[in-house]
Amino acid sequence: MTSPTLKFIGHLKTPYKTPADCPGQARPENGVTQIVVDEAYADGLTGLKEGGHIQVMYWFDRADRTSIKRVPKWSRNGEERGVFSIRSPHRPNPIALSTVEIHKIERNMLTVTAMDAVDGTALLDIKPYLNQLAPKS
C-alpha cells in the first residue's frame, strides 16, 4: 500500500483566532465563513450555485490526535463518548466536515454559513451536498 498524500486546495477565512473561539458546529446564526480556493483550482467551482449546499472538508491542524473519548461541548451530564459517535475535532485523523449553504460566489471565493474553524484553516475538498436519504416523491 502506498502512503496517502493530501493536497490543500485553499483555506478558510473566519473571525476565530483559537479553537476555543470557534462555535460547536456550522450554523447560520454564527455568521459566515469565506472559502478561498487557490487560483489553480478556481475552475472547479463551476456549476455551484448561490443558495445551494456543499460539503466542505478541512484540516483541523490544532486538534488532539491522541483522543479517542471526549466530553462533547453540548453534553448536559459530562458523559464521555467515543470520538466516532460525536463531531469533535479531536480525533485520530482531524478531518472536519461541514454542510453549508452558499451565500455568494466570487471567482475563487465562496461565502458560506459560518464554519467551526480558526482563520487560515486548510481546505481539503468541496463536494455538492446530495440528500440521498430523502424520501423519493
Cα–Cα distance for residue pair 36/122, rounded to 1 Å: 10
Is residue 4 situated within a structural domain?
no
Burial-class residue 56 by CB neighbours within 10 Å (0-12, 13-18, 19+).
buried
Our count of domains for the chain comes to: 1
CATH label of the domain that carries residue 53: 2.40.30.70
Burial-class residue 93 by CB neighbours within 10 Å (0-12, 13-18, 19+).
exposed
Taking only the tens place, the pLDDT of each residue in 62-96 is 887 888 988 877 778 888 888 888 877 778 888 99
Structural domain of 110: 10-128
* Of residues 62, 114, 112, 111, the one with CA closest to residue 88: 62
Instruction: Name the pTM for this structure.
Output: 0.85
Range name among 39-53, 83-97, 108-122 with the lowest pLDDT average: 83-97
Is residue 134 situated within a structural domain?
no
Phi, psi of 42 (to 5 degrees): -55, -40
